[in-house]
Structure 1
Amino acid sequence: MVLFSSAATHTAQLKPVMDSHSHIIAWGSGEDGQLGIGNNEERGWVCVVKSLQPHRLRSVVAGSRNSLAIADDGKLFTWGWNQRGTLGYLSETQTKTENIPGQVKALSGVKIVQAAIGGWHCLAVDDQGKAYAWGGNEYGQCGEEPKDDTGRLLRRDIVIPQRCAPKLVVRQVAAGGTHSVVLTREGHVWTWGQPWPPGDIKQISVPVRVQGLENVRLIAVGAFHNLALQEDGTLWAWGNNEYGQLGTGDTQPRSQPIPVQGLSDLTLVDIAAGGWHSTALTDEGEVYGWGRGEHGRLGFGDSDKSSKMVPQKVQLLAGEDIVQVSCGGTHSVALTRDGRMFSFGRGDHGRLGYGRKVTTGQPMEVPMNIPPPQNLSDSAAAGHWISKLVACGGRHTLAIVEWKANES
Structure 2
Amino acid sequence: MADVTETPELSPRNPAHKIVAVAAGEAHTLALSGDGKVYSWGRGTFGRLGNGSQSDEKFPVPIKWDNDGDLGNEKCPKFVGVAAGAYHSLALAGENVSVPRQLDMLVQLNSPRSLGDDSEGKSKNPLKVCAIEAGGMMSLAIDNLGALWMWGNIPQQRSPDDDTFTLISVPDPVPMFDFYGHTVVKVACGNEHVVALVSAGEKHIGDDLVCYTWGNNNHGQLGLGDTESRSHPQAVAQFSEGSAWRAYDVACGSFHTVVLTLKKQPSDTLASVCWTFGLGENGQLGHGTTQSTSLPEPARALPENAYFVSVDCGLLHTSVVSSAGEVWSWGMEKGLGLCPDVSFSGVDHGDAILPLQFSCNGSNFPDPVEVACGAAHTVLVADDGYKLWSWGRGRSGVLGDGKVSDSYSPTMVLWPPLSEDFSDGLNIESKKPKEGGEKTEVDEKLDSAMEEMKLLQSKLSVMERYVSILHGSLFAKPFEESDIPASLIESDSFDVGKAWQGMLEAADGKELRRLEMFYGNMLDGVKDKIMKRKIQEIVREHLQSSSTTQY
Contact 1:227 1:238 in 2 (8 A): yes
Whole-angstrom CA distance in 2 between matches of 1:206 and 1:290: 31
Secondary structure of the residue that 2:65 maps to in structure 1?
helix
Which residue identity lines up with residue 166 of structure 1 in the other structure?
A: F
Confirm or deny that 1:124 pairs with 2:162. no
Aligned to 2:179: 166
Give the stretch that moved more between structures: 178-187 or 289-298. 289-298
Give the stretch that moved more between structures: 199-208 or 31-40. 199-208
Larger radius of gyration: 2
Contact 2:81 2:92 in 1 (8 A): yes
Aligned to 1:311: 355
Whole-angstrom CA distance in 1 between matches of 2:256 and 2:168: 25
Aligned to 2:232: 206
The CA deviation at 1:189 is 0.7
Question: Against the structure 1 CA distance between its residues 291 and 71, is the aligned structure 2 distance closer, same or farther, given a 3 Å change threshold?
Answer: same
Alignment of 1:64-83 (within 5 A): 64-73=86-95, 75-77=98-100
Aligned to 1:403: none
Give the stretch that moved more between structures: 31-40 or 110-119. 110-119
Alignment of 1:274-313 (within 5 A): 274-293=314-333, 296-297=336-337, 304-313=348-357
Contact 1:2 1:119 in 2 (8 A): no
Question: Against the structure 1 CA distance between its residues 227 and 198, is the aligned structure 2 distance closer, same or farther, given a 3 Å change threshold?
Answer: closer
The CA deviation at 1:132 is 0.8
Contact 2:215 2:231 in 1 (8 A): yes
Deviation string, structure 1 residues 254-309 (Cα, Å, up to 9, x no partner): 111111112223222221111111111111111111111269448xx996443211
Whole-angstrom CA distance in 2 between matches of 1:313 and 1:172: 27
Among 188, 191, 198, the alignment partner of 1:184 is: 198
Contact 1:124 1:133 in 2 (8 A): yes
Whole-angstrom CA distance in 2 between matches of 1:281 and 1:374: 36
Aligned to 1:320: 365
Structure 1 vs Structure 2: percent identity of aligned residues?
27
User: Which protein is richer in strand relative to its size?
Assistant: 1
Secondary structure of the residue that 2:105 maps to in structure 1?
helix
Among 256, 264, 277, the alignment partner of 2:295 is: 256
TM-score normalised according to structure 2 size: 0.56
Which stretches in structure 1 are left out of the alignment for 5+ residues? Answer: 78-101, 377-407
Deviation string, structure 1 residues 312-334 (Cα, Å, up to 9, x no partner): 21134634313211111000111
Among 383, 386, 409, the alignment partner of 1:337 is: 383
Aligned to 2:260: 229
Contact 1:290 1:310 in 2 (8 A): yes
User: Which protein is richer in helix relative to its size?
Assistant: 2
Which stretches in structure 2 are left out of the alignment for 5+ residues? Answer: 1-21, 67-74, 108-125, 200-207, 240-244, 264-271, 339-343, 426-489, 491-551
Aligned to 1:238: 277
Question: Against the structure 1 CA distance between its residues 218 and 352, is the aligned structure 2 distance closer, same or farther, given a 3 Å change threshold?
Answer: same
Whole-angstrom CA distance in 2 between matches of 1:228 and 1:31: 32
TM-score normalised according to structure 1 size: 0.74
Whole-angstrom CA distance in 2 between matches of 1:336 and 1:65: 26
Aligned to 1:363: 410
Whole-angstrom CA distance in 2 between matches of 1:182 and 1:315: 31
Whole-angstrom CA distance in 2 between matches of 1:173 and 1:127: 14
Aligned to 1:44: 58
Whole-angstrom CA distance in 2 between matches of 1:231 and 1:7: 32
Confirm or deny that 1:157 pairs with 2:204. no
The CA deviation at 1:163 is 0.8
**TM-align CA RMSD:** 3.5
Contact 1:7 1:274 in 2 (8 A): no
